[in-house]
Chain A
């Protein structure tokens, strides 16, 4: 393609200008690193210690493990949206596909139907067909290496197809967001159908056996928690390193001015497709870690609102920061879990009526918390465009007397 037209040094020069034009700044600041180290310390050391001391029960540990899996999806979206400027609304689809890939593996080793003993209970119950033969695409998922490969490959292939065709015809900006949302909705509708032999709206529920261990076992739970935390931290470090390479800098240049990058002789299609695929793989891994921890993965994990939630996590944390999405995911998810737990809060010095209103409001929250999510969305977009991390950086800069 046009890549070869320009001499290399000239292209580097033009590229450097393109990158500089976009107000580039070093993504990792010392307090980010300190924050990350603190987070790693808390998640890897403090939480297990609290559990051993009996202060944090297994359900809380497992909950945080799930949120770490979700943070992987958010990191992927941050690479695509925060760094490359492509707002993708199909991260939840890649997440769910990854979850299904591992979920099917677990199904194949879980309880089978009583009659032939070859069909996983989850599939047998949904189809309720006594003469059912195991569909051909289920069989290879019994092999662990195949399932693990599919966790990575299925989202990657899907993302490559979507990305290549969309970016090639220069579908960008809001068009791309809408197309990806349409694709997610279409996939959701497909997964909901029983005749796709993926268990319909029930999804894969009650999946228990993972590599010979039972997911109801506290040891397995703790193990998977640690794996999730480590994977999440690894992905954070990987993403932080990635955005500092030449590849990462070109992504930022594409975000700031795609046509300028094209004029320097680079093909943005390749870079955009590549980062889109990387994000999809991260989401797939997230899904594969999430499914065994909830022992459940179903089509509602990729409903339209699920993709929107991922955007909320990234926006709240602060996009283009890598650390931000992790913080955002943990914060929003913990907030959600608090709101929907049915607990009430009483303000100590507030008048009686205010507490009564608050109690009424909190009692409705288990059903109506999407209302809060919507409000967070509007407020963050209007008043907090650089998210929590952005505010934190501004505060640090203010204290130090420098400009951020």
Chain B
């Protein structure tokens, strides 16, 4: 593997040659300058470190080759200029090494070489940083360095950043026409980076035409920002809404269809999240580290199953005895929720965190300045799948048919041979399992707390109330509406007041449509 890399590197000229290095010891400044330029063109990243030390007078020749020695005084240990291996086991007297000649011009050439080398870094992320720094630093020589990158770099983000840098440098030019051209480029790119420089130009520039161009460019940046902000708000609303939807789907099933109010539903979310944590711990303990990133799909399944199992147990032991007494059910499940919260706090303590898998870090950048994090996109995907699965289950399977039959008329269903008790248990555990899956998905964007479900339970009930009881599409619409409304209100009120306003809106909405968005018709309407 190493040999192969070496071979590749030599073929593509990524290695600096010893001969070029040795030319740094030449008496003629022109030869040294040419040598530094050749070295910079090689693109060997190890030269960055070398040139840094070289500019601090740490370069020497020893036994006919160039070496580094980092001791400021006293004896010197010669090091390989690129790899920094020790070339001599002991330190040698200073007189055995001869210093490389170094003038102010050589230092300047070395620092330019370092910039060029950084701009040629094979890692796109590092290259991007270098390109944006070079643009910010300004100066005509940097413009020369950036021009080929703006035209040829394989990465579009780096091309954009280089073009921004060139425009920024143009903006500082003495020629008014060049400054206008720079402002025009910024306007086309809608580059937010250039905002501060443009403001200076707008306020201070001598030429009115340039000031006008700067105003236009600033307007373009502003409108770009508005677009980005709107999309980002809608997106975070979508991701908040999708967690609410999965939660509320479970509630819509238990509350809407069965008429059972489960205040411990939020704790099912918590169970799912802790199940994901346990799966991750198991992976870390029993399996090789390379498999760790793949814990998540299994965690999702574990979250669904464990929360479903807890729900089934709950139905069997408590809720079954309270059918038809909604207020008592509410109270008993509040109690159950408290017991679950405090038991988990007893067992796990506060604030555990699941390490999000590496393939979900970072984000998708569909346009400049707009990053949509993968983990939130993934949560939206989980929601879409859950909604689809519930719809299919309800409308296309035998279990769904039995379930709907039991809900519509328990006696008729029972007389036709449906085991309504089992169906009740299954329905309840399905609803709880969905909350568990939501909890598992939630671990991607936040820490785990035993009372994490409390934050969502009220909002999910509002979703069910606003969406209409027992209606899938009502839940989806209300969930998205509530999520997006909250996120839109947050910036220009504060988070707390957004919550209050949304609550007031839901109450007012219920004044107009007491049965929710999609009211049930016929016999169900009496439930």
Contacts and interface: CB of A to CB of B under 8 A. Distances in A.
Nearest to B504: A186
Contacts of B346: 364, 368, 371
B512 to A, nearest CB: 8
Interface in A171-191: 171, 173-175, 177-179, 181-183, 185-186, 189-190
B500 A381 contact: no
Given A169-B510, A368-B346, A373-B338, A381 B328 contact: yes
Contact of A178 (B322, B461, B494): B461
- The secondary structure that dominates the A interface is helix
Contacts of A166: 507
Contact of B500 (A171, A174, A186, A375): A186
Contact of B339 (A169, A185, A371): A371
A181 B465 CA distance: 14
A252 B337 CA distance: 31
Contact of B507 (A179, A311, A381): A179
B496 A193 contact: yes
A54 to B, nearest CB: 39
B392 interface: no
Q: Which of B326, B334, B458, B514 has the most CB of A within 10 A?
A: B334
Interface in B485-527: 494, 496-497, 499-500, 503, 507, 510-511, 514
A364 B345 CA distance: 12
B381 interface: no
A183 B501 CA distance: 11
Contact of A183 (B327, B330, B339, B503): B503
Interface string B459-500: 001100100000000000000000000000000001011011
B13 interface: no
B219 interface: no
- The secondary structure that dominates the B interface is helix
A87 B330 contact: yes
B447 interface: no
A339 interface: no
A175 B458 CA distance: 11
A45 B439 CA distance: 55
Contact of A315 (B322, B331, B503, B514): B331
A165 B499 contact: no
Contacts of A179: 507
A173 B496 contact: no
A308 B334 contact: yes
B330 A377 contact: no
Nearest to B331: A381
A370 B338 contact: yes
Contact of B335 (A368, A377, A385): A377
A378 B327 contact: no
A382 B331 CA distance: 10
Interface in B260-307: 261
Interface in B97-139: none
Nearest to B264: A374
A311 B342 contact: no
A211 to B, nearest CB: 35
Contacts of A364: 346
Contacts of B503: 182-183, 186
A305 B337 CA distance: 11
Contacts of B326: 173-174
Nearest to B338: A374
A260 interface: no
Contacts of B340: 374
A20 interface: no
Nearest to B322: A381
Nearest to A183: B503
B461 A87 contact: no
Given A304-B454, A371-B346, A374-B339, A177 B462 contact: no
A171 B462 CA distance: 13
B262 to A, nearest CB: 10
A382 B320 CA distance: 11
Contacts of A377: 331-332, 334-335, 338
Contacts, number: 101
B398 interface: no
A17 interface: no
A376 interface: yes
B331 A311 contact: yes
A170 interface: yes
A241 to B, nearest CB: 26
A378 B318 contact: yes
Nearest to A377: B335
Contact of A378 (B336, B345, B454, B499): B336
A359 interface: no
B442 to A, nearest CB: 19
B343 interface: yes
A189 B338 contact: no
Contact of B332 (A168, A177, A371, A382): A382
A305 B341 CA distance: 12
A178 B339 contact: no
A368 B458 contact: no
Interface string A148-176: 00000000000000000110111101110
B458 A178 contact: yes
A377 B322 CA distance: 14
A23 B507 CA distance: 34
A174 B458 contact: no
Q: Which of B335, B340, B345, B494 has the most CB of A within 10 A?
A: B335
A165 B507 contact: yes
Nearest to B499: A186
Q: Which of B318, B322, B338, B340 has the most CB of A within 10 A?
A: B338
A174 B343 CA distance: 26
A382 B514 contact: no
A368 B339 CA distance: 10
A254 B314 CA distance: 32
Contacts of A85: 327
A181 B458 contact: yes
Given A178-B458, A186-B503, A376 B335 contact: yes
A341 B182 CA distance: 73
B339 A165 contact: no
B499 to A, nearest CB: 6
B339 A375 contact: yes
B204 interface: no
Nearest to B461: A178
Contacts of A171: 510, 514
A175 B510 CA distance: 11
Contacts of A375: 335, 339
Nearest to A191: B496
A185 B338 contact: no
Contacts of B507: 165-166, 179
16 contacts: A87-B331, A169-B514, A181-B458, A189-B499, A193-B494, A308-B338, A311-B334, A368-B345, A371-B338, A371-B339, A373-B338, A374-B335, A374-B338, A376-B335, A381-B322, A381-B335
Given A173-B327, A183-B503, A376-B335, 10 more contacts: A87-B327, A87-B330, A174-B330, A179-B507, A185-B458, A186-B496, A186-B503, A368-B346, A370-B338, A371-B338
Interface of A: 85, 87, 165-166, 168-171, 173-175, 177-179, 181-183, 185-186, 189-190, 192-193, 304-305, 308, 311, 315, 364, 368, 370-371, 373-378, 381-382, 385
Top-8 shortest CB links A-B: A377-B335, A374-B338, A371-B342, A374-B339, A378-B335, A381-B332, A189-B496, A374-B335
